[in-house]
Copies of this chain bind each other. A is one copy, B any other.
Amino acid sequence: MSSVANPRLPDDETVTPAPAPKVAQRPTPPELSRALAARFGAAFSTAPALREQHGRDESAYTHVPPPAAVVFAESAEDVADAVRLCAQHKTPIIPFGVGSSLEGHLLAVEGGVSLDVSRMNRVLAVQPEDLTVAVEPGVTREALNRALKSYGLFFPIDPGADASIGGMCATRASGTNAVRYGTMRENVLALDVVTAKGDLIRTGTQARKSSAGYDLTRLFIGSEGTLGVMTKITLRVYPLPEAISAAICSFADIADAVQTVIEIIQLGVPIARVELLDGPSVAMVNRHSKLALIEEPMLLMEFHGSPAGVKEQAETVQEIACAHRGRAFEWAATPEARTRLWTARHHAYFAAVQSRPGCRAIVTDACVPISRLADCLLESKAEADASGIPYFLLGHVGDGNFHFGYLIGPHDAQERATAEGLNQRLVARALSMGGTCTGEHGVGLHKMGFLISEAGAGAIETMRTIKHALDPDNIMNPGKIVAW
């Protein structure tokens, strides 16, 4: 029955990096439990193991009690009925996909019911001529790509985890391909959403663009389950590139690597992926994935297009890299070599965590204008080096988004405090450079304070006004993004 497709790290239960949320649990009335049991039968459960499973995500929060119950929805009607029943009893309801969110999004901080949509996992319609697909929210990214492959299509948004499409919409996810294909923001055409009142609304059409009223689609994308529950998602998809090639290039320092990326993008080269790893992170990847990459700052790149176009892009990029002292420019032209490199990149997080047995990573997610990226990285690295805490550094550098992962002893309060301090100073630095505290992971619980610093009181008040208007009883995943 588990819908969690992602590996869980050891010692998950032992770290609480941010202050535990200070909100009162709301009791779930027995009448509501009875009504849900009557409506949902075996798809309603209060079994402790299930509740525990739905009370965790990939964040490090631990002291939050699990939800009082779990409902498995199999249709939009199921979702609407569950929301309506919770609304009648003013009881929180928290949408749950695969549990891969990173910032405490799924935690039942005010109690209530977890609404598991993982059984809503049908690919409803592929429209190859329109380059669109309609899916239920529980379809995972990898399942979607398997379904698209025979049409010669793919969905590029790739947050690493095999997340659900609903969850990716909820957090406005992106990943390694965003530099070329955009994020969930750019790739969702329309949503069916159950509102806090239990009404089913449609936020858009199948048309590629529209000027028809307020952009409800974009309002729900990134709303982290706090405004409604998605029941159907229409996505843009893309033709599988005729040719793909990958390359790596090492640099003496990070600034050269970043300047290379700036010039690649300024020249209009449509690079599909461009990831940065710092030297120690390359070393971790080498050990974990048995590679022999040069242990210096490295760009890992991918090019999509026609065979001639890919060749031209790569030549241009190689020239730019050479002008910035890039060396050991190497091709991975075969699918096997490419897969090996990208698998190593995707395993970098695990490589890092395994480099310090028993450790836990506290991961940052700032995103800055690329002109400030080298400064932001170098200052943050200097601070991390001075702290003595080991760390990894990965970046979606084409977007200015990067992740430090501070590898702390899970039982070491001192290290934990140091790492949270590094994170706070990093976010402050990113904000002072015109950046954001979260490029792709979302706010959840962990970044509510950062969001206030970033958005300012007026924008926070605007968000709160919208939340109050659309969810007047505060039942939709309460206690996330903005305090009530």
Interface set of A (CB-CB < 8 Å, partner B): 127-132, 171-174, 178, 182-183, 185-186, 195, 199-216, 218-219, 221-223, 227, 238-239, 241-242, 262, 265-268, 270, 305-306, 308-309, 312, 316, 365, 367-371, 399-401, 431, 434-443, 447, 450-451, 454-456, 458-463, 465-470, 481-482
Which residues of chain B have C-beta atoms less than 8 A from A312's C-beta? 306, 308-309
Name the contact of A443 in the complex, choosing from B212, B454, B470 (C-beta under 8 A): B212
Answer whether A182 and B172 are a contact pair too, CB < 8 Å, given A218-B219, A400-B207, A465-B470: no
Name the contact of A207 in the complex, choosing from B131, B227, B439, B450 (C-beta under 8 A): B439
Answer whether A209 and B129 are a contact pair too, CB < 8 Å, given A242-B268, A309-B312, A462-B216: no
A173 to B210, CA, bound (A): 9
A130 to B465, CA, bound (A): 33
Name the contact of A127 in the complex, choosing from B186, B369, B447 (C-beta under 8 A): B369
Which residues of chain B have C-beta atoms less than 8 A from A399's C-beta? 207-209
Instruction: Name the CB-closest residue of B to A263.
Output: B129
How far, in Å, is A332 (CB) from chain B's closest CB? 21
Contact check, A210 vs B466: say whether CB atoms are below 8 A apart: no
Which residues of chain B have C-beta atoms less than 8 A from A173's C-beta? 211
Which residues of chain B have C-beta atoms less than 8 A from A371's C-beta? 127, 129-130
Name the contact of A459 in the complex, choosing from B130, B203, B268, B440 (C-beta under 8 A): B203
A308 to B310, CA, bound (A): 11
Which residues of chain B have C-beta atoms less than 8 A from A459's C-beta? 201-203, 213, 216
How far, in Å, is A228 (CB) from chain B's closest CB? 9
A434 to B173, CA, bound (A): 26
Contact check, B131 vs A265: say whether CB atoms are below 8 A apart: yes
Contact check, A215 vs B219: say whether CB atoms are below 8 A apart: yes
Please list the 6 inter-chain residue pairs (A to B) with the smallest Cβ-Cβ separation, ordered nearest first: A218-B218, A469-B469, A206-B434, A201-B458, A129-B371, A210-B436
Q: Other CB < 8 Å A-B pairs besides A206-B368, A212-B438, A212-B450, 9 of them?
A: A129-B262, A130-B371, A186-B186, A211-B365, A211-B436, A213-B451, A214-B227, A214-B466, A242-B268
Which residues of chain B have C-beta atoms less than 8 A from A369's C-beta? 127, 129-130, 132, 206-208
Contact check, B209 vs A367: say whether CB atoms are below 8 A apart: yes
Contact check, B266 vs A400: say whether CB atoms are below 8 A apart: no
How far, in Å, is A463 (CB) from chain B's closest CB? 5
Contact check, A171 vs B211: say whether CB atoms are below 8 A apart: yes
How far, in Å, is A2 (CB) from chain B's closest CB? 26
A-B contact pairs, 29 of them (CB 8 A): A129-B266, A130-B370, A131-B266, A195-B458, A195-B462, A199-B461, A201-B462, A205-B431, A205-B435, A206-B369, A207-B368, A207-B399, A207-B400, A209-B401, A210-B436, A210-B439, A213-B443, A213-B451, A214-B227, A214-B481, A215-B221, A218-B219, A219-B219, A242-B267, A268-B305, A306-B312, A309-B312, A466-B469, A466-B470
How far, in Å, is A352 (CB) from chain B's closest CB? 22
